[in-house]
Amino acid sequence: MKRMYLSLMIFSMFAFLCVLFINPTFARFFNNDFETGDLTDWEKTGTAFDFQPTWGDNPTARNRNQPSNHQGDWWIGGFEKYQGPDKGAALGQNPGGVQGDGPQGSITSIEFVIVGETMNFLIGGGNHPWATDPNPCSVNLVIDEEVERTSTGDNHESMTRKEWDVSDLKGKTAQIVVVDNHGGGWGHLNFDDIHQADSSGNNIPWGQATAVEARGKLAVSWAQMKKYY
pLDDT tens for residues 49-69? Answer: 999 999 999 999 999 999 999
The predicted structure's pLDDT at residue 183: 94
Strand ranges for the chain from DSSP E: 25-27, 42-46, 54-55, 74-77, 105-109, 112-113, 118-125, 137-143, 146-151, 156-165, 173-180, 189-197, 203-204, 211-213
Q: How far apart are CA 27 and CA 211, in angstroms?
A: 5
In a domain, 154, yes or no: yes
pLDDT in tens, 58-109: 999 999 999 999 999 999 999 999 999 999 999 999 999 999 999 999 999 9
The pLDDT confidence band at residue 35, using thresholds 50, 70 and 90, is very high
The predicted structure's pLDDT at residue 108: 98
In a domain, 164, yes or no: yes
pLDDT in tens, 116-159: 999 999 999 999 999 999 999 999 999 999 999 999 999 999 99
The predicted structure's pLDDT at residue 37: 96
In a domain, 204, yes or no: yes
Task: For residue 212, give its domain range.
Answer: 24-46+103-228
- Mean pLDDT across the chain: 85
3-state secondary structure of 67: coil
pLDDT at 203 over 50: yes
21 φ, ψ (degrees, to nearest 5):
-110, -20
In a domain, 12, yes or no: no
In a domain, 40, yes or no: yes
Number of domains observed in the structure of the chain: 1
Q: How far apart are CA 22 and CA 53, in angstroms?
A: 36
Kindly report the number of other CB atoms within 10 A of residue 218's CB atom: 12
Of 119, 120, 121, 126, which Cα lies nearest the Cα of 66?
Answer: 126
Residue 226 makes CB contacts below 8 A (sequence gap 6+) with 36
In a domain, 56, yes or no: no
The predicted structure's pLDDT at residue 93: 96
The predicted structure's pLDDT at residue 3: 54
In a domain, 91, yes or no: no
Q: How far apart are CA 176 and CA 106, in angstroms?
A: 10
